[in-house]
Amino acid sequence: MENKRLLSWGQGNEFLAGMVADFRDGEAGCIVTEPADAPRAISSRKKGGAYSVKYGWKSSTGGIQIESIEYSDENLRYLHSIGAKEGVDSAAFTHSGQTYIVHKCTRAIAKKLFSAANRVKDFVSGIVGWFKTLAGNFYILSRVDKATWGIDSQFSAPHLQPASWSDFTEENKSRFAELATEMMVKMHKSGHAFSNPVPSEMMLDSRRALVADPRYIKPVKGGADAVDNFILMMRGLMRRGFTCSGTLFYCLSVYTNSMEKECRQWYGKSGKPQSADLFQIAKELESQVGA
């Protein structure tokens, strides 16, 4: 199949590339000191590349107050509270010049996601910690690197800007489809799936697409299930108005070649020969995406 050199997202979209430059020009280092009303650290330890701290609070200060936290990003050293409503499902905030997003979850999920951070970093917005609040809620903590866009995102903060799908040109949508395909290949090769594969649950930086909410990552059961997951994502793009058939088949070809074993397993589920030509398997994927 014809090889195609992929342009970076910034090269394919001059407007967003300009925004990247604006963000970089506006970045400045900052020195953070301990706030006067900071809680007392009752205990702290370092194990490997992770830090664990437990805090003792004298009084309620409003917002989300952290009782204990485990993190890998040293920039979070003085993170004790977040100016968001306690119990909120998700929130974006800045701390020490960096932008972060928190997502509410269970303790088990928070620990599991944090331990998997290095394994999923190529396709999930960077997981850098988790914490328990004074009210007993648990949150997973992600860092937003550089200039990043959330598709129809509810959040707006430094380094994190909302991008409306309706404003995308056909060229933008085609490039997004290519980046999303690359993301899904990395995800499925690592043994994970995207439980809500729609554009509004993804982020973009200057070179890749990422899952915005790590809670939507789950283990994939088998090769054929991974392919079904990819089909769902492509259907989501089609429902949002992505109509470039040339780019669609290119994405299907990339996925088929990258995930050949899994695609053959998927093709054979319906009794068809797994030894079929990859072009025929890609055509069958195309028919399922449009179904």
Go through the domains of the chain in sequence order and give each one's CATH number: 40-144 (no CATH), 167-289 (1.10.510)
Distance CA(232)–CA(184), nearest Å, equals 11
How far apart, in Å, are the Cα atoms of 14 and each of 6, 18, 178, 261? Answer: 15, 6, 17, 38
Name the region of 120 (left: φ>0; alpha: ψ -120 to 50; beta: rest): alpha
Which residue has 């649950």 as its token pair? Answer: 201
Structure tokens at 169: 């040109």
In sequence order, which residues have a C-beta less than 8 Å from that of residue 163 and are 6 or more positions away?
16, 149, 150, 151, 152, 153, 204
Instruction: Give ∠ CA 35-37-40 in degrees, rounded to 5.
Output: 90
Strand ranges (DSSP E) for the chain?
40-47, 50-56, 64-71, 81-82, 90-95, 98-105, 127-133, 138-144, 148-151, 160-163, 192-194, 202-204, 209-211, 217-219
Residue 267, beta-bridge partner list: none
Quick one: pLDDT at residue 9? 41
Which residue has 């404003």 as its token pair? Answer: 167
More confident residue, 61 or 86: 86
- pLDDT tens figures, 196-218: 988 888 998 878 999 999 999 99
- pLDDT tens figures, 122-168: 999 899 999 999 999 999 999 988 778 888 677 777 778 788 888 88
In sequence order, which residues have a C-beta less than 8 Å from that of residue 2 and are 6 or more positions away?
none
Distance CA(51)–CA(76), nearest Å, equals 10
- pLDDT tens figures, 17-53: 443 444 344 444 444 555 666 899 999 999 888 999 9
Distance CA(87)–CA(78), nearest Å, equals 21
Compute the half-sphere exposure of residue 261: CA atoms within 13 Å on the CB side of its CA.
4
